[in-house]
Amino acid sequence: MSTFIVQPGGRLAGEARVPGDKSISHRAIMLGALANGVTRVSGFLEGADCIATLEAFRAMGVRIERHGPGDVEIHGVGLDGLKAPQGPLDMGNSGTAMRLLCGVLAGQAFDSELIGDRSLSGRPMRRVTEPLAHMGARIDTSEAGTPPLRVHGGATLRGTDHQLAVASAQVKSALLLAGLWAEGRTCVTEPAPTRDHTERMLAGFGYAVERDGARACVKGGGTLSASPVDVPADISSAAFFLVGASIATGSRMRLEHVGMNPTRTGVIDILRLMGAGIRVLDAREAGGEPVADLEVEASTLKGIQIPEHLVPLAIDEFPAIFVAAACAEGETVLTGAGELRVKESDRIQVMADGLAALGVDCAVQTDGIRIQGGGGFAGGEVDSHGDHRIAMSFAMAGLRAREPVRIRDCANVGTSFPGFVELARRAGLQLEEA
């Protein structure tokens, strides 16, 4: 079990390109595998989560070659070309892999089983299995609605017109993917905008997606055509450095080729509302997704009431935002974020426990948290509960700590950010792994 030890103080400086976007990397493997032709992916995230997706498609007969760092070639088998896997498909720590694959597998002729690690095995899956069942899929969960999932092959899927109960791109994507094999149209309406990488990439692979405000629809029976995918750097990984450089006096960093899809940039909006100095430079487009370079410098932050409409647009960045809030003058209040409780860990409780262990005054609420900022961190020991984003967020807290910060259970950092320790050290974090 790996532990991070961060010496107090320091600053962040220099230029960095953080690894590829996790959400886009998963989808590139999935659509590449289901397309006709060969898809070349550059900037692919070689973290454990996306490798789980890659291995799952290999297990279903798709030839996928890795030519070099981030350079992957997928020999698509078409929408009817997947083969029955020999055993259960292990999705590791990845909710995205499991939920999106559930949509894909619902439309196959063969039976399959999806399993995951301890964290994933406790996460809610009925949010995908129930609407998929409504389309005609047959999927068994545990009694608690959690993995393992047994997907019965040979179901006839019917299109649906589904109103999402929670703002979840994973559920939306699972239904749209199942819709590729369904009779007629499958439409999904979301209660608030969520990441739209699936819709964009389907369109990029030549599959018509009708989009009208909060509603996206696909018609079954089409084909996907292989298309190169240039994966931008993950804004969710850049977020740790946006926060670290904002809170540590004298910092200035440039983050290159960061994905700037407007359904993902809530972290920039929230940090700017808190007073952060973040500049967006050279905004451009790469493979159907907006990208830019980001420049961030240390600033005096202030506590805010986080606008609820920004919550789904920053859903993975709250652990890092909480660290910023602890360094801001005054109180930061988050509401409408109950979804944080069903991520890789209960991110409200686990962050609150860690903040309290580092001497930060905070109060947990059902769907959010209140953080009293201004004091920085005393130092001490926190437990990440195997949650990669919590581990990396508390690593940044070391920049404003008075004593060393020890973070337990950090091995899962490799699910989303391979090379984090080296990159963070190069940028100036006094971080060691034990």
Q: Which residues are catalytic?
A: 316
CA dist 127 and 147 (Å) reads 12
Q: Does 169 bind ligand S3P (CB under 6 A)?
A: yes
Query: CB-wise, 177 or 294, nearer to ligand S3P?
Result: 177
Which of the stretches 164-172, 303-311, 365-373, 407-415 binds ligand S3P when contact is defined by CB under 6 A? 164-172
According to CB under 6 A, which one of 90, 199, 230, 316 is a site residue for ligand S3P?
A: 316
Residue from 354, 383, 386, 349 nearest 369 by CA: 349
- Per CB under 6 A, 412 contacts ligand S3P: no
Report the distance separating Cα 147 and Cα 91, nearest Å: 10
In angstroms, the CA 340 to CA 176 distance is 24
* Phi, psi (degrees; rounded to nearest 5) at 195: -55, 140
Given the complex with ligand S3P, which of 100 and 360 has the nearer CB atom?
100
129 interacts with ligand S3P by CB under 6 A: no
Q: Is 308 in the site for ligand S3P (CB under 6 A)?
A: no
Nearest position to ligand S3P, beta carbon: 23
State the residue for tokens 């079990």: 1
312 versus 354: smaller Cβ distance to ligand S3P: 312
What residues form DSSP beta bridges with 16? 255
Strand-pair partners of 14: 253
- Site membership for ligand S3P, residue 289 (CB under 6 A): no
- β-bridge mates for residue 277, sequence order: 297
| Stretch 41-100 residues interacting with ligand S3P (CB under 6 A) | 96
How far is 393 from 387, CA to CA, in rounded Å?
10
* 173 forms part of the interface with ligand S3P (CB under 6 A): yes
Locate tokens 């179901």: which residue?
Answer: 155
The two structure tokens encoding residue 95: 């909710």
Q: Which is nearer to ligand S3P, 125 or 427 (CB)?
A: 125
Q: d(Cα 357, Cα 135) in Å, to the nearest integer? A: 47
261 binds ligand S3P (CB under 6 A): no
Give the range of 37-45, 63-71, 165-173, 362-370 binding ligand S3P by CB under 6 A. 165-173
Q: Is 180 in the site for ligand S3P (CB under 6 A)?
A: no
For residue 259, list its beta bridge partners: 291
Q: Are 143 and 136 in contact (CB under 8 A)?
A: no
- Exactly one of 6, 18, 23, 92 binds ligand S3P (CB under 6 A); that residue is 23
Token couple for 284: 């451009």
How do beta strands 185-189 and 13-16 pair? unpaired
Q: Indicate the helix (H) or strand (E) that contains 322.
A: helix 318-327
Binding mask 186-215 for ligand S3P (x = CB under 6 A): --------xx--------------------
By beta-carbon proximity to ligand S3P, the closer residue of 188 and 431 is: 188
Query: Which residue number, 171 or 298, has a Cβ lying nearer to ligand S3P?
Result: 171
345 near ligand S3P, rule: CB under 6 A: no
Looking at 89-140, list the stretches that DSSP marks H as alpha helix, in order from N- to C-terminal side: 95-106, 126-134
Check residue 348 for interaction with ligand S3P (CB under 6 A): no
- The span of 7-15, 167-175, 218-226, 390-398 binding ligand S3P (CB under 6 A) equals 167-175
Residues of this chain that interact with ligand S3P (CB under 6 A) are: 23, 96, 168-170, 173, 194-195, 315-316, 339
